[in-house]
Homo-oligomer: A and B are copies of this chain.
Amino acid sequence: MKKVNQDLLNERRKCTFDIGELTTLIDGGPEKTRDRKEKEEIMLSKTFDRVPEEYLSHKEKFENAIKQSVIIFSLVRRLQKEGKTTISNYRDVISNLLRSTTLRDGSPLGLHYIMFMPAIINQANDEQQAQWLERAWNCNIIGSYAQTELGHGTFIRGLETTATYDASTKEFVLHSPTLTSYKWWPGGLGQAANYCIVVAQLYTNGKCYGVHSFVVQVRDEETHEPLPGIKVGDIGVKFALNSVNNGFLGFDNFRIPRNQMLMKHAQVLEDGTYVKSRNSKLNYGAMVFVRVVIVFDMVNYLSKASIIAVRYSAVRRQSQRKSGEPESQILDYLTQQNKLFIAIAASHALRISANKLWDTFNTINTELLGGNLDRLPELHALACCLKAVSTSDTASFVERCRLACGGHGYMLSSNLPLTYGLVTAACTYEGENTVLLLQTARFLAKTWQQVASGESKLTPTVEYLKTASSKNIPEKWVNSVENIVNAFQIISVRKISSCMENMQRRVSSGSSFEDAWNMSSIQLTSSAEAHCRVIILMSFYEEMQTCAKNVSPELRIVLNQLMELYSVYWALEKLSDLMQYTLVTSEDVESLQAWYEDTLRKLRPNAVGLVDAFDIRDEVLQSTLGSYDGRVYERLMEEALKSPLNAETVNYTFHKYLKPFMQGKL
């Protein structure tokens, strides 16, 4: 191993807590840490000798991704065969295994695991599972998932692709009636997948029964040629995800057998009779599952970005603060701490919320399978707002980290631009954030009516809406996390109640409910966000009380500082809400600001230790600025020298174009 940068060595030396202890806490226990490391060892056992991906053309990126993916997914298959990963522990495959690979811009085979297999698991009946599941699990077929169309994303009811049952042949006829009905976005669909789940409007016996899912073969298994009646291809270049091979798909009266409609819930009988699902909400579980996975993804990306930016800021020296002194580590500037430390704290806050969401999902999903749908709306509302807030917070903090690295953060070799590209995508996919916040708002509006009508039993995550109004914020504000949590509860209560008053006023003065909703929608999204802030802050606060018993005193101090930083950061960000709805005064604002700055200073000595504890290996981090040894400048130059432009001293365009131009001949 090359020499480690001296500034990083110094930082690690002064760390006040046991970094390994924090890593274990993050993983969820020593066994999980061991298991993770063991799997990482396997997943990273193959190395790839190559020109860095970012120098390649779009087509070469795909080809490179396929080459690497088959090796990496062979390793996944090996883990499956050895029983180290099973179908019942599915999140492990898609969140953890895929995360610890070198495929930083995604894989064309990813959606096979993330969407195709779960759709079969959740929506196929027993016969269909027998037919498809093992082949899919073994990657004998590669699937994608096609729902979104060129003209329709959010509004699923508006999808245009049709699946019309033909009882005479016992087939469904899939058709794309318009350009806007072409499927658009499915990962791997362009050139990689040969199967696909297709969501289409089901017609049988002349009647439309809304959207249903179908297993559709799109390419020949032997030749990989698109089947007749199928138009499939690559959708082109995107902000990021360029090795994912997102595709388009159109049908020209393409026929599939009846038993390729996924029939665990609704069915079409041979004669075309439609048998509806016992409950149309049963598919919600899968949607929530994907959103849980997204929140965990955000935690991962945010950890990565904070590692890169904090290590770089310890190595980078710029400007003398006092003349005659050596240049300062930029991590010593308060403005830099202000940019970075919130990312570390938010990574912990979001991880805790993601764990909580995952537990809630498992509890409610079990109830669901037992036929109890009572808490489904709550789960849905919770997943919607956590997905929206976690993705938008992460995007903003990742970008803040990137900008904090100055020019070098703009180099792709830092891995920060790509990280931002991946994270910001999550603000849109699986439910556009504004739309999701409005879904949560709808649930809050209903809950508020229950509160207003004096209903005594509210579901757990919204119980505070009833109790918070009665809690008093002390007349004299005292800086404490508990007070901030209480204040946010009151803000949330006041926001939803103000929305409801405005709605009512608008309806009373003649607006339709829908128009009143639209007119109130800026406020409604703000109300949903406020609710989500309460959830995240409360979860952090509760988790820290549990932690207090289980962790060493040294670590407890630092974790408390992170919680304080997170809370006071958001109190300051939402200061106008605090001033509007609580008793916080102008003087209190100054003391909040002082508390915030003081917490930054306290965290400063442990900054590098805190990001080291995220324990993300250099091979996964893939950042010139963020590697463990801090050889920032050496790596920047090494990566630059790999540019194919540097392979020759003079590019051919000089002779052909530039020189004639300079000589005035052009």
Contacts and interface: CB of A to CB of B under 8 A. Distances in A.
Interface of A: 52, 54-60, 62-63, 66-67, 70-71, 73-74, 77, 138-142, 148, 150-155, 158, 179-180, 182, 184-185, 190-192, 223-226, 233-239, 245, 248, 317-322, 327, 332-335, 338, 399, 403, 406-407, 409-413, 417, 421, 424-425, 427-429, 432-434, 438, 498, 512, 514-515, 518-519, 521-523, 525, 575-576, 578-581, 586, 589-590, 593, 597, 633-634, 636-637, 639-646, 649-655, 657-664, 666
Contacts of A410: 238-239, 424-425, 428
Contact of A639 (B158, B236, B640, B662): B236
Contacts of A576: 575-576, 578-579, 589
B411 A653 contact: no
A662 B412 CA distance: 33
Contacts of A224: 650, 654-655, 658-659
A425 B651 CA distance: 27
A484 to B, nearest CB: 15
A529 B139 CA distance: 56
A645 B406 contact: no
10 A-B pairs closest in CB distance: A575-B576, A70-B661, A57-B57, A239-B417, A234-B645, A66-B653, A576-B576, A155-B319, A54-B237, A237-B412
Nearest to A637: B179
Contacts of A660: 70
A63 B153 CA distance: 38
Given A224-B658, A234-B640, 18 more contacts: A52-B237, A59-B645, A63-B652, A140-B664, A150-B636, A155-B320, A191-B650, A224-B655, A233-B641, A236-B413, A238-B417, A239-B412, A332-B518, A334-B521, A335-B525, A410-B425, A576-B579, A580-B586
A237 B319 CA distance: 27
Given A54-B58, A67-B653, A403-B428, A142 B321 contact: no
A580 B579 CA distance: 8
A662 B139 contact: yes
23 contacts: A55-B58, A57-B644, A62-B653, A63-B653, A70-B658, A70-B666, A139-B662, A141-B662, A179-B637, A182-B637, A185-B407, A224-B658, A233-B641, A234-B643, A235-B643, A237-B413, A322-B514, A335-B434, A399-B424, A403-B427, A410-B424, A417-B421, A522-B597
Contacts of A333: 518, 521
Contact of A406 (B77, B153, B662): B153
A496 to B, nearest CB: 15
B427 A407 contact: no
A630 B60 CA distance: 32
B649 A226 contact: yes
Contact of A318 (B138, B158, B233): B158
Contacts of A589: 576, 580
Given A154-B318, A239-B412, A644 B512 contact: no
Contact of A236 (B318, B515, B525, B640): B640
Contacts of A338: 522
Given A154-B318, A662-B139, A651 B518 contact: no
Contacts of A319: 154-155, 158
Contact of A148 (B138, B403, B407, B633): B407
How many copies, total? 2
A512 B498 CA distance: 49
A421 B410 CA distance: 9
A102 B475 CA distance: 62
A248 B521 contact: no
A586 B428 CA distance: 34
A59 B237 CA distance: 17
Contacts of A579: 576, 579-580
B158 A646 contact: no
Contacts of A411: 235-238
B413 A322 contact: no
Contacts of A515: 321
Contacts of A248: 637, 640
Contacts of A659: 224
B522 A334 contact: yes
A644 B412 contact: no
Nearest to A70: B661
A523 to B, nearest CB: 7
Nearest to A245: B645
A224 B649 CA distance: 8
Contacts of A179: 633-634, 637
Contact of A428 (B56, B184, B406, B663): B406
A525 B338 CA distance: 12
Contact of A70 (B62, B634, B657): B657
Contacts of A425: 410
A651 B335 contact: no
B645 A190 contact: yes
A154 B184 CA distance: 44
